[in-house]
Structure 1
Amino acid sequence: MSQAVEYNYVVVGAGTAGSVLTARLSEDGGARVLLLEAGGPEVPEAMPTPPAWPRLLGTASDWGDRTTGQAPTGTPVSGNTNATLYGIAERAAGFVSRKGA
């Protein structure tokens, strides 16, 4: 059985804000900070290449989210890939601009 570990702070999300917040909190040498992020250490080949994001659809990196109906069509937009790797969400989403169909 593993031993319980206590932290002063738990930060959920290793994107830009979560990483900066964790860095700032850890500047206090007496604070124990845990940074949590979904996913694993493996980086799919398409992940670092923003134009290749469609290749991530339907993979383990795609959370399968759908939006609500979008004006003016009223239809949801699928294929909004959210990365499940450490700090990669901004890289995957920040370079992609899609207009609703």
Structure 2
Amino acid sequence: MSVDTATVKRVAKLARIRVSDDEAAHLEGELNAILGFVEQLSQVDIEGVEPMTSVTEMAMKKRQDAVTDGGKAADITANAPNSEDNFFLVPKVVE
């Protein structure tokens, strides 16, 4: 895959980055080099390689998947200007 100057300018516009014509020509070469490297990576044989979460082997930390009320409603509403029964009280905004 090859990137031309028009594509560089389009990507820059989508990213809301101002790019001059000289910069676009420079970025065209850089983006083509990056895409060439990605194409090289697609040629690597990864058959039998398991996905890793780290370079050192370790078990993933997992927590119990349980639904709780959090037990912190009173702590959360403690600093609220107005609260009642662990709910925030706010001024009425709709008539």
The TM tier, using the shorter chain, reads: under 0.3
TM superposition score normalised by structure 1: 0.17
TM superposition score normalised by structure 2: 0.18
* Larger Rg over CA atoms: 2
Structure 1 or 2: larger helix share? 2
Higher relative contact order (CA 8 A, sep 6+): 1
